[in-house]
Amino acid sequence: MERRYRSPYRHWISGFAFEVVLFFVFLAVIALAASVILRLVG
């Protein structure tokens, strides 16, 4: 499957912001799930 070439420089700000939000959300989900497990076990 060929991908059309698009420049990653053009909208880098929105891409970067998306990444930051992605990491925040991922960490939050992991942290909350871990807390749940901690309560179940501890």
Partner 1 sequence: MWVRFTLAEARGIAHYLGVLVLGMAAVMLVPLVTAVAVAEWEPALDYFIGSTVAAVIGLALMLADVTAPQISHRQSLLISALAWLFAALVGAVPLALSGNYGSYLDALFDAMSGFTTSGLTVAQDLDHMAHAHNMWRHLTHLIGGQGIIVAAISLAIALKGGAFSLYLAEGRDERILPNVMHTARFIWFVTAVWVTIGTAALAVINWLSGMTAVRGLLHGFWLTIAAFDTGGFGPMSQNALYYHSPYLEFGLLVLMLAGTFNFNLHADLWRGDRLEVFKNIEARTLAANIAICVGLVAVSFGASSLMGTDAELWRKGVFHIVSANSGTGHQTVYAGQWPQMGGGAIFGVVLAMAFGGMVSSTAGGIKSLRIGLILSSVVLSVKQALSPTSAVVRLHFHHLVDRFLTPEITASAFTYFTLYVVSYISGGVIGAAYGYAPAEAVFESVSAAANVGLSVGITGPMMPTGLKVLYIVQMWSGRLEFLSLIALVVAVFLAIKPHRRAGA
Q: Note the residues at the interface with partner 1 (CB under 8 A).
A: 1, 3, 5-9, 11-12, 14-16, 18-20, 22-24, 26-27, 30-31, 33-35, 37-42
Shortest distance, CB of residue 4 to partner 1, whole angstroms?
Answer: 10
Measured distance CA(18)–CA(13) in Å, rounded: 8
Q: Read off the tokens for 10.
A: 């053009």
Shortest distance, CB of residue 17 to partner 1, whole angstroms?
Answer: 10
Measured distance CA(4)–CA(31) in Å, rounded: 38
Q: Read off the tokens for 18.
A: 């998306």
Shortest distance, CB of residue 11 to partner 1, whole angstroms?
Answer: 6
